[in-house]
Amino acid sequence: MILPIGPIHPALKEPIRLKLQTEGEKVVKAEVEYGYVHRGIEKIIEGQTWQRGIYLSERVCGICSYEHTQTFAETIEKICGVIAPPRAQFLRVITNELDRIQSHFLANSTFFKSLDHETLFMQVLELREYAMDSIELLTGNRVNMGWNVVGGVRMDADERHFKPILENLKKIEEGFERTREIFAEGPALALRCKDVGVMTKKEAIKGRAVGPIGRGSGIKHDYREDHHTYQDYFDFKPIWRKEGDNYARTLNRFDEIPESISLIRQAIENIPKGNIRIPVELKSGYAQWRNEAPRGEVTYMIETNGNLIKHITIRTPSIPNIDSCAKYMIPGVPSVADAVSTYASSDPCIACAERVAITDEHGKTTLKKYGEVM
C-alpha cells in the first residue's frame, strides 16, 4: 500500500509530502512531493541592487542563512576582482563555524526527536543555545544575521566579544563529550541507527549526495578545502566515515563540531589587525562560487549589470540530499518509523530546496527540481 506522510505531520518539521510504498512493515519505495514553500526567491532577487540582494539571499533558508550571504558576497567580489581584507575573512570564518555548530546540533536533535529519544533531544538543544548566544553576541541577531556585505563584514569584533565566545565554546565542549558518548555507545540507540538507511559510496556518487550525508558514505571531500581562506590560514582536515547508515551520518555531524571549535579557536588566536571592509566598485560580469554550507556545497551563479543583478541561480545541497535519501536510503528500511528517522538523518531543509517553478501553456504551475530544469 502507499502511505502518505505530511505535509503537516507530527514527524515532520517542514511541509513536504513523503509517499511510502510498503509491503507489510517494510518500505520498498519512497517518493517526495515538493512545492509547499515555493516563494520565488530567485525571481525576487533578479533586478534588485546587490545591496538589497544580500539581505534577500539570507531568506533562502533560515537555518544556514549565514552561508548564503557569504557565498553571495564572495561571488560579487569575484566579479569585481577584489578579496575581502584578512580580518574580515577571519571574522567570516568565526561566524561560519558557529553557524555550522548550531546547524549540526539542530539536525542531530531533530534526528533524536524522530527516534523519540527525548533526553538527547533536550541535551543537544541546550548545547545549541550556547552557539546561538555567541552568534547573537557577535552579529546582533540570532537567525538572519545581516553580517556580511560585499567587501567585508559590517561590524568589528574585539576582546569583549571573543572572550564570551571562548567561554561558550568551553561549555559546548563539556556537554558535548557526554552527549556524543550516549549516542555512540548507547546500545538501544545503536539498534535503531546502525545498518538502517544504508547508502553505499557508489550510490552516494550517483545521487550526488554532498556534505555530511555524502561524507557519511565515504566521499572524502569538503568544499572548505578549496576555499582560499581555509587554505591560506587554517589547519583543517575533513571528517568522513564509510558505513553510510544513519549512525555514520549522525556521528559524522557530531565529529565535525570539535573541528569547527578548533577552527574558531585558531581564528580568534591569530586574527590580524586592519580593515574589516573595503569599498567595492561594481563591474558587470558573470561569476560562479562554491562554499561548504552545513548541509554541503552551495553554488551561486550571478550575472550583474552595473549595480543590478541581472540573473541569479542558486544550487543548494538539500535537493541532491533529499533526492538520494528517497532513492537510496529509505527503500529497504525495516519499518515506517525507521523511514521517518532515516529521512530526518538526511538533514532535509525544504526552504532551501524550492526555488524553481515552471508554468506551461495552460497556466498550470508545476514545481521542478534543479536537475530537471538544467
Partner 1 sequence: MLDSIKDIVRKSSIHVCIVNCGGCNGCDVECVALLSPRYDLEQYGIYVHNNPREADVLLLTGAVTEQWTTNLKRIYDKAPEPKIVVAIGNCPQSGDVFNQEGGHVYAPASNFIPVDAAVPGCPPRPSEILEAILAVGPQAIADRGREEK
Partner 2 sequence: MSSLIWYIYDFARKAWADAFTNAKSLPELAEKPERFRNFPQVNKEYCIGCGACTVSCPSPNAIKIIREKDDETGEGLTYPVIYPGACIRCGFCAEVCPTDPKTLECGENHLIMPEFNIIPSKRQYIVDDYLCIKCKKCMKKCPVGAISLVNDKLHVDQLNCIACGDCIEVCPVNGAMKGVFVENLYDQKELILLTVNYLEDYINSKEEDLRSLEKDSLLQYDIPLDDFFDEALKIIPDEEVSFEIISNAVNRLKIRIIDWDSDNCKKCQLCVGECPTGCISFDEDKDTIVREKDRCLRCSICYQTCPFSVIKYFIAKFSLEDDRIIHTTVKASNLNEEILME
Nearest approach in angstroms of CB 65 to partner 2 is: 11
Q: How far is CA 31 from the centre of its chain?
A: 22
Q: Which stretch binds partner 1 (CB under 8 A): 43-51, 244-252, 293-301, 337-345?
A: 43-51
Burial of 251 (0-12, 13-18, 19+ CB in 10 A): buried
CA dihedral (328, 352, 155, 136) positive or negative: negative
Beta strand 148-149 pairing with 26-33: unpaired
- Give the residue, chosen from 83, 137, 301, 357, that forms a contact with partner 2 under the rule CB under 8 A: 137
- Contacts with partner 1 in 128-147 (CB under 8 A)? 128-129, 132, 142-144
The secondary structure of residue 285, as a DSSP letter, is: E
CA dihedral (348, 52, 222, 107) positive or negative: negative
Report the residue number, 308 or 336, with the smaller CB distance to partner 2: 308
Q: Which does 277 bind (CB under 5 to 8 A by kind): partner 1, partner 2, none?
A: partner 2
- Chain position carrying cell 566521499: 219
At 77, list the grid cell. Answer: 567580489
Residue 154 binds to partner 1 (criterion: CB under 8 A): no
- Give the residue, chosen from 169, 276, 326, 350, that forms a contact with partner 2 under the rule CB under 8 A: 276
Q: How far apart are CA 121 and CA 205, in angstroms?
A: 31
Residue-wise burial string across 311-332, b where 16 or more C-beta atoms lie within 10 A, e elsewhere: ebbbbbbbbbbbbbbbbbbbbb
Residue 307 binds to partner 2 (criterion: CB under 8 A): yes
Q: Which does 187 bind (CB under 5 to 8 A by kind): partner 1, partner 2, none?
A: partner 2
- Give the residue, chosen from 40, 306, 334, 371, that forms a contact with partner 2 under the rule CB under 8 A: 306
Residue 303 binds to partner 1 (criterion: CB under 8 A): no
CA dihedral (227, 230, 235, 240) positive or negative: negative
Nearest approach in angstroms of CB 144 to partner 2 is: 7
Q: Which residues bind partner 1 (CB under 8 A)?
A: 7-15, 35-41, 43-47, 55-56, 58-63, 65, 106, 109-110, 121-122, 125-126, 128-129, 132, 142-144, 349-352, 357, 365
